[in-house]
């Protein structure tokens, strides 16, 4: 995590943006958890230890800055309307547990014929990117016969 945080800090310096205490707390949380949290979940987790340092507005403003710098990715699960944030920037997909809400990264090849830059079937459409969301039951829920512990915040 230290190396990744150092890389993020260097990217901020190169862009002329300061690494504030709030930005560092947000990045540390994202690097540590990898849980695809919402801004509200990030705020709730950080606020417990630093109530005078972070407001929900501070979280949103800093997430916007980190997104603009290319240090975090904002995405929405289908039909959720809630922005989630991902520190893993490379192309990947998400496995979403319908029982506990856990979101895990799928790093393997997509079980789909869609390839960015390759024509899509007979349509001649050239996709730049695509997102796939796989819904099902995570291993913890399957093993427990029901709802596992909700995603840690």
Ramachandran region, residue 54 (left: φ > 0; alpha: ψ -120 to 50; beta: rest): beta
And the tokens for 81? 């309307």
Between CA 44 and CA 47 the distance in angstroms is 5
CA distance 60 to 43: 9
Q: What's the number of CA atoms in the CB half-sphere (13 Å) around residue 117?
A: 0
Residues annotated in the binding site for Zn(2+), as ranges? 97, 100, 138, 141
Binding residues for Fe cation: 91
* Pairing outcome for strands 83-86 and 73-76: antiparallel
Q: Is 19 left (phi over 0), alpha (psi -120 to 50) or beta?
A: beta
Joined together, the tokens standing for residue 18 give: 């300061």
């Amino acid at each position: 995590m230290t190396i990744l945080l150092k890389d993020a800090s260097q990217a901020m310096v190169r862009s002329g943006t300061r690494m504030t205490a709030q930005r560092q707390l947000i990045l540390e949380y994202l690097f540590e958890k990898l849980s695809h949290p919402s801004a509200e979940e990030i705020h709730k987790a950080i606020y417990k230890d630093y109530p005078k340092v972070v407001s929900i507005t501070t979280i949103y403003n800093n997430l916007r800055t980190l997104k603009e710098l290319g240090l975090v990715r904002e995405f929405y699960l289908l039909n959720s309307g809630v922005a989630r944030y991902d520190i893993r920037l490379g192309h990947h997909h998400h496995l979403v547990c319908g029982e506990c809400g856990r979101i895990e990264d799928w790093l393997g090849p997509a079980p789909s014929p869609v390839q960015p830059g390759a024509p899509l079937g007979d349509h001649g459409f050239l996709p730049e990117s695509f997102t796939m969301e796989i819904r099902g039951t995570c291993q913890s829920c399957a093993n427990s016969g029901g709802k596992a512990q909700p995603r840690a915040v």
